[in-house]
Amino acid sequence: MHHALNDPATPDYVFAHVFKHEILHTRIRPREVEGKWLAHPPEFWEEESRIAEADKGQAWEWIFRNFAAALKRDSEHECIWVNNRSMKELLHNRHCAEQDLRHLREAFKIGYKELHFGFREQALRDFETEKDS
C-alpha cells in the first residue's frame, strides 16, 4: 500500500480494493502466458473480479481523481508507477489545504459542512458521511 492512502479521507472501499488486489498476488503467482511473463495472468483478473468487483470502479475513480498527476500506467509491465516527487507535492498541498480549512472554520466559526475546498470536496463529504454513520 502506498503511504498516500494512509489518510482518514481515503474511503474504506479504496483500501479494501487495493488490499484485495495485493493479497491476491500471494495466491495467484505471475506466470508465462503465450510466451509473455504476466504479473496478472487471466485467472488473476477473473478472481479479482469475483472478490473485488463491487469496489473496483469507484476505488480507481477515487485514486485517479486524487492522485492522477502522480501516477503513470505502464501497460507493458502491468503496473502503475508513482512519481514520488509529484505525490509528495500533492500530499503537501492536501495537508496545507486541510490546515487552511481548519483555520478558516475556527476563525469564522463555520460548520464542517459549510466550507469545502476544491479537489478535496468529495473526500471531505465522504469523510463526513463515514463520521456520521
- Which carries the bigger pLDDT value, residue 131 or residue 49? 49
Residue 70 and residue 102 in one domain: no
Residue 123 and residue 74 in one domain: no
- Which carries the bigger pLDDT value, residue 61 or residue 94? 61
Residue 78 and residue 92 in one domain: no
pLDDT tens digits, residue range 46-77?
999 999 888 899 998 988 888 888 888 888 87
Specify the DSSP element, H or E, that contains 6.
Answer: none
- Which carries the bigger pLDDT value, residue 102 or residue 35? 35
pLDDT confidence band for 119 (50 / 70 / 90): very low
Residue 11 and residue 70 in one domain: yes
Domain, as residue range, for 109: 87-132
Residue 76 and residue 63 in one domain: yes
Specify the DSSP element, H or E, that contains 20.
Answer: helix 12-24
Looking at 82, 102, 124, the residue that finishes a domain is: 82
Q: What is the mean pLDDT of the chain?
A: 79
> Under DSSP, is residue 55 helix (H, G, I), strand (E, B) or coil?
helix
